Structures are given as C-alpha cells and as structure tokens.
Amino acid sequence: MATGMKHWLGLVAGGFAIVAVATLPPSTTEIYRTTSLPEQRRYDAVRTEVRRAHGVLRETRWSDSLSALAVRTAVDGLAFGFPESDRLTTEGVEEWKALLSAQVEAIEPRDGQMVVGFFAQPVVHGTIPDVPTPSVYGRHTFVGVRDGTPYCLQVNALFRIRDVDLRSGASLGLAGCRLYAKYGAAGPRIQDWLDGGALGFALRSGDDRPFAEFELDVPIFGLSRGIYASTLELQRCLSGDTGACVRVVTDPEIIFARGGDVAYLVANSPVSNLDGFSRSPFEYQDDYLLADLEAELGAEAFARFWTSDASVPQAFEAAFGVEMGAWVLTWVESEIGLYQAGPTTRAGAFWLSVLTLMVLASIASGTAMRRRVG
C-alpha cells in the first residue's frame, strides 16, 4: 500500500477514534473505591444524623427569633438586623439599608400586610459549640406567619460580618421575597411547592439575567456544557414531552437533584430555600423562571396563580389559560433548546464529526499530493 494512502487511512481512523471517544456516554465505573471498618461506617452515619439534626435546630432558632424580631421592629413593612461587629461601620450599614429599601420600594403593587426582613447572621449563631453542624453559608429564606403577620426573611449566613458582606448581600436582590412582597402569602399548595424547591425559580427578577446570553446546551463532540441531563424526566422534557416538563419543575426529588444536607434541611426545617446550594437540573438557567412567567402572562394572572388553593398544575392552567407543561416546554425551547429523542447522535455532534473527518481527509490528501509532485 502506498505510503500516502497509509497516512490518509491513519488520519481518518484517528478522526473516527476521537469522535467515538468524545461521544461515549458518561461512565458509571467507580474509579475510586474506599473501604472502611463497620465501626467507622456506623460512626460516620451517627455523625451525619447529629450534624443534620443540629442544622435543623439552628434553622428553627433562626426562624423563630428572627421572625419575632422582624414583626416587632418592621417600619413600613421592612425590618433589618445585623450582629455587633468591629468590622461594620455606620456608613456601610446605612448603604446596605438604602440598597434594600430602594429595591422593596420599587415593587408595584405591594402587599401591605407582608413584612420583609433582611438580616446578617454568623453561620454558627444558635448552634452548640463543638457539635458538628452543616456549614451552609449564603442566603437562607424563611417564609411564614408570626402573630398573624405574614413575613418573608432573607438571612445572609456568613463566616464573618463585614461591610462588604452586607453590600454584597444587598446586591443579590430580594430573591423570592420580591414575589411575597408583591403578591402576599402564597396559597397552601403553592407554598408547599415553593418549599419543595420551586422558590429557587424566583431567585432573580426579569431585569437580572446574568446568564441570559450564555448558551448552556452547546454540544461539543456530543457533550453538553452546563446542563447535564442527569434524569430521565429532564431528557424527556428536552425532547418535547410536556408531561415530563411538568414533573421536572414540580417533583421535589428532581428539583433537589443534589440532595445531601441542603435537601435535608429544606425538607425538615423552617428554611424555604438555601440560595447557592439547592439547584434544579436546569442549574442557574431557571433562577428567573417565575419572573419570566410573570412578565409574559401578566401580573394579574400571576396573582391568581400565586394565591390559588388548587394544585400547582391546576392553578397554573386556571390562572394563565395554558397547560403548565406546554408553557414550560416553550420556555425550555427558548432558553435552552430541544433535541431529538431516541438512540441517535445530536445533529450538532453529527455535523461537527463530519466536518472533522473532512478536514482530516483534506490534510491527508494534500500531504499525499505534495509527495507525489516532489
């Protein structure tokens, strides 16, 4: 066989090998296996139980004490609180309050009964010294009723309290409390849905879309960046199944795909959301899903949905006049994109593979031509 042909075949075979390896499904092989004695496993299990129970105690203490403080000290429906710290200045505190007050005052309309509270809190506050507790930093959201007054609290749990901590917490915005401040308390079954993880769909307003220009589902040799279709229901939704789209945004086990201490705390303590930890399979792309819903279908319809006593899918269709799965599918298509279901390679991966092989073949043909001419 001619040397040029051998090089050409080698390059083509190499191209096929690269494409084949790149498009393999994720491996389920356990690369690292750990072994431990039964005593160690029992110790780890007990320690996990203690840590999670201690976390529930901490969240319960925060919810109880801070809700009482918010209802007692609120002025015009706003309450603020922070611990004493030599790293805080009067100017920093006033700037923090001004930022948050401006955000709340910009809400129109606004529920006059709802108290919105903003607090900074050391993450170890309310815990027992030397007892393990989940180190869940970031923003904790509490929703409920205290002495007949509904409230929504944003608690920024921090390692240390500084001016920069307060300002960064304020810059994150109102998150889910924006909807409570605007529409009041949610209906009981809507609230159960929000507590089950859906409050994560309200972390950002429609004007705060840092990922709007970032395409999360760009196949590169068959692999996707950002969103990993880790559940069958998500894959079905991405392929156009409206029933699966409903389940992806309503099933707590899918919304809390990451599990662990965070899911345990949300399921067993008064905290409604732990921003930065509890993510759905859509990752950060759905932080503004409820804001998109409100903007597209109107505040009046959204208010009917928010305060409904019906189940989430029924309340959705009754308020907006469209089936929930159909709207979610439209949202998924516009924000992320759909793909063809079935045992086949995505179109993008297929054409990228063809292009790669064509480039390799052209290089081989050019090399062989130059050698013959020489």
Q: Quick one: 258 and 157 in the same domain?
A: no
Helix (H, G, I), strand (E, B) or coil at 275: strand
- 162: pLDDT confidence band, cut at 50, 70 and 90? confident
Last residue of a domain, one of 185, 211, 230: 185
| Euclidean distance between CA atoms 12 and 367, whole angstroms | 13
Among candidate residues 185, 214, 243, the one where a domain is terminated: 185
pLDDT computed for residue 220 by the predictor:
38
Pairing of strands 115-122, 149-158: parallel
Q: What pairs with residue 144 in β-bridges?
A: 151
Does some domain include residue 371?
no
Q: Are residues 317 and 194 in the same domain?
A: yes
- Domain annotation covers residue 143: yes
Q: Can you spell out the DSSP letters for 311-322? A: -HHHHHHHHHSS
Residues 204 and 173 in one domain: no
- pLDDT of 217 reads 42
Claim to verify: residue 62 and residue 113 sit in the same structural domain: yes
Please identify, among 185, 215, 233, the residue that sits at the C-terminal boundary of a domain: 185
d(CA 242, CA 293) in angstroms, rounded, equals 16
Per the domain annotation, does 42 fall within a domain? yes
Question: Does residue 166 lie within any of the structural domains?
Answer: yes
Q: Same domain for 143 and 276?
A: no
Q: What is the domain extent for residue 242?
A: 186-343
Residue 118 vs residue 355, higher pLDDT: 118
Residues 42 and 159 placed together within one structural domain of the fold:
yes
Same domain, 235 and 160: no
Residues 280 and 196 in one domain: yes
Residue 26, domain member (yes or no): no
Same domain, 77 and 91: yes
Global confidence as pTM: 0.76
58 and 104, same domain (yes or no): yes
Q: Is the pLDDT of residue 75 over 80?
A: yes
Q: Using pLDDT thresholds of 50, 70 and 90, give the confidence band for residue 374.
A: low
- Where do the DSSP E strands lie in 184-303? 271-275
Residue 2 has pLDDT above 80, yes or no: no
User: Are 153 and 67 contacting, i.e. CB atoms less than 8 angstroms apart?
Assistant: yes
Within a domain: residue 193? yes
Residue 21 lies in a domain: no
Q: Are residues 102 and 245 in the same domain?
A: no
Say if residue 198 is in the same domain as residue 246.
yes
Residue 329 covered by a domain: yes
Most confident of 37-41, 169-173, 352-356, 363-367: 37-41
pLDDT at 226 exceeding the cut of 50: no
pLDDT tens-digit map of 318-359? 999 999 999 999 998 888 777 655 444 555 555 566 666 666
CA distances from 171 to 84, 128, 159, 168, 302 (A): 21, 31, 18, 5, 26
Q: What's the structural domain count of the chain? A: 2
Mean pLDDT of 56-68: 96
